[in-house]
Structure 1
Amino acid sequence: MASEMEKADALLHTFSTASALSSLALGMFCFVADRVQQATFIQQNDWLRALSDSATHCVIGMWSWAIVIGLRKRSDFCEVALAGFFASVIDLDHFFLAGSVSLKAATNLQRRPPLHCSTLIPVVALTLKFLMQLLRLKDSWCFLPWMLFISWTSHHVRDGIRHGLWICPFGKTAPLPYWLYVAVTASLPSVCSLIMYLTGTRQLMTTKHGIHIDV
């Protein structure tokens, strides 16, 4: 059980100036990255367009998780890299649905691939949390469901500005306003960090594994 001092420390870092500035910078990155991707030489090359889009998803996922945990130890960079992997790897379901490694086939699907169903995000995160408790991994890997939730949500919200959110089984929403995408992406790490504090996850990360959260 975390001490009152540790709880206060976790809450303080959740609302720190560094966290606010990092979130603001993340929102600015979203805007700049999307403008860069509108460059003619990128838009005219299918592979460049796909790779730049995937790289942006990856950086947003990494940046978001870095805001949550801070970067103080070498192992923190491994976590951040894993978050970036989660944020970008789900686009592989395009190739799975296409049944081909052809980029043209993967980007010209008649329907959206399975991992782009936003309903899956809380389902997978909660299932993962349950399995971790069942296997008694809830302390050492307590961050994993949250990392997956943040990484996948940032991906879906960014895709939502073009295609809307696919909420199974209710259908999809209208495309998200651009300002909403930037606002949600920038605020998501802090909101999740607050919920992690309220559920005790941040204290576990601090006391069990020496992760000194400085965001």
Structure 2
Amino acid sequence: MQGFYSKLDSSPGASPLLGARAEGLPVSLALETEKAQALLQTFSSASLLASAGLGVFCVAADHALQLWTVQHHLWLRAALDNATHGIVGLWAWAVVIGLRKRSDVYEVLLAGLLASLIDLDHFYMAGSLSLKAAVSLPQRPPLHCSSLIPLLCLTLRLIMWIGRLKDAWCSLPWMLFVSMATHHVRDAVRHGLWVYPFGNTAPVPYWLYVSTTATLPHLCSVLMYLTGTRDVISTKHGVAIDV
């Protein structure tokens, strides 16, 4: 992943786009060219390799969770399972935004934390801090309802708009989407997706879980492009996402 590249270098050799602008290319056409380049970079070789690595990690982590030692220690199994949720979430978000600055590292760590914290609703539902009670619930806890994902993301976006939060936070709803979606898809292998008010789907085939997790960052990148989130980051902060 190449992460972010600076657009502050005005030398034509530093960027074909900037060189084109220097030659008098209309600003609107230059911006459209830049958008197209950002979209193509979403499927760069580095990004695709990172996504493939994410899929391999999913398989390796799930095999590790099947080890006898892990299966016979409840706390160890729960800790490793939750850690896997977190790593998958942060890895997926790292593919979306790239890693180049220290702030990018903090951002992907936050994505991983969000993916892990979802499981706290098990204890809320159990009304106890007992791990045995938390993993033996008669029904699924609230944050595991997949219908909440678009609702929470849109609500967060609305709150940001009402509060006029800085554009630096414009990707936060997308981070929440990736963190929750990766968690839900992974859980769906065993329990299916809980889509209120329609109920639970059949368990998701394992191959579909791995492929969905690996392609989700690219889907998110395309949606961010279509909704203009990438444009806001690029225009306001002098950087363009290059994953």
Instruction: Give your verdict on TM over 0.5.
Output: yes
Residue 153 of structure 2 corresponds to which residue in structure 1? Answer: 125
- CA distance in 2 between counterparts of 1:182 and 1:77 reads 24
- CA distance in 2 between counterparts of 1:68 and 1:187 reads 10
Identity of aligned residues (%): 63
- Counterpart of 1:10, as a letter, is A
- CA distance in 2 between counterparts of 1:109 and 1:210 reads 49
Find out whether 1:68 has 2:96 as its counterpart.
Answer: yes
Find out whether 1:157 has 2:185 as its counterpart.
Answer: yes
- Deviations 1:62-101, CA, capped at 9 Å, x for gaps: 0000000100000000000000011110100000010100
* Contact kept in structure 2, 1:11 and 1:197, CA below 8 Å: yes
* Contact kept in structure 2, 1:129 and 1:138, CA below 8 Å: no
- Deviations 1:161-185, CA, capped at 9 Å, x for gaps: 0000000111000111000100110
Shifted more, 130-139 versus 65-74: the winner is: 130-139
- CA distance in 2 between counterparts of 1:67 and 1:18 reads 9
Residue 34 of structure 1 corresponds to which residue in structure 2? Answer: 62
Find out whether 1:91 has 2:143 as its counterpart.
Answer: no
Please state how far the C-alpha of 1:203 moved relative to its aligned partner: 1.9
Secondary structure in 2 matching 1:124: helix
- CA distance in 1 between counterparts of 2:164 and 2:98 reads 26
Residue 180 of structure 1 corresponds to which residue in structure 2? Answer: 208
- CA distance in 1 between counterparts of 2:79 and 2:199 reads 28
* Contact kept in structure 1, 2:230 and 2:240, CA below 8 Å: no
- Counterpart of 2:231, as a letter, is Q
Please state how far the C-alpha of 1:5 moved relative to its aligned partner: 4.2
Find out whether 1:145 has 2:173 as its counterpart.
Answer: yes
Secondary structure in 2 matching 1:3: helix
* Contact kept in structure 2, 1:57 and 1:154, CA below 8 Å: yes
Gaps of 5+ in 1: none
Residue 213 of structure 1 corresponds to which residue in structure 2? Answer: 241
| RMSD over equivalenced CA pairs, Å | 1.4
Please state how far the C-alpha of 1:212 moved relative to its aligned partner: 3.9
* Contact kept in structure 2, 1:69 and 1:211, CA below 8 Å: no
- CA distance in 1 between counterparts of 2:196 and 2:239 reads 36
- Counterpart of 2:76, as a letter, is L
* Contact kept in structure 2, 1:72 and 1:212, CA below 8 Å: no
Please state how far the C-alpha of 1:199 moved relative to its aligned partner: 1.1
Find out whether 1:79 has 2:79 as its counterpart.
Answer: no
Secondary structure in 1 matching 2:215: helix
Question: Structure 1: which 4+ aligned runs deviate by more than 6 Å?
Answer: none
TM-score (norm 2): 0.85
* Contact kept in structure 2, 1:164 and 1:172, CA below 8 Å: yes
Please state how far the C-alpha of 1:131 moved relative to its aligned partner: 1.2
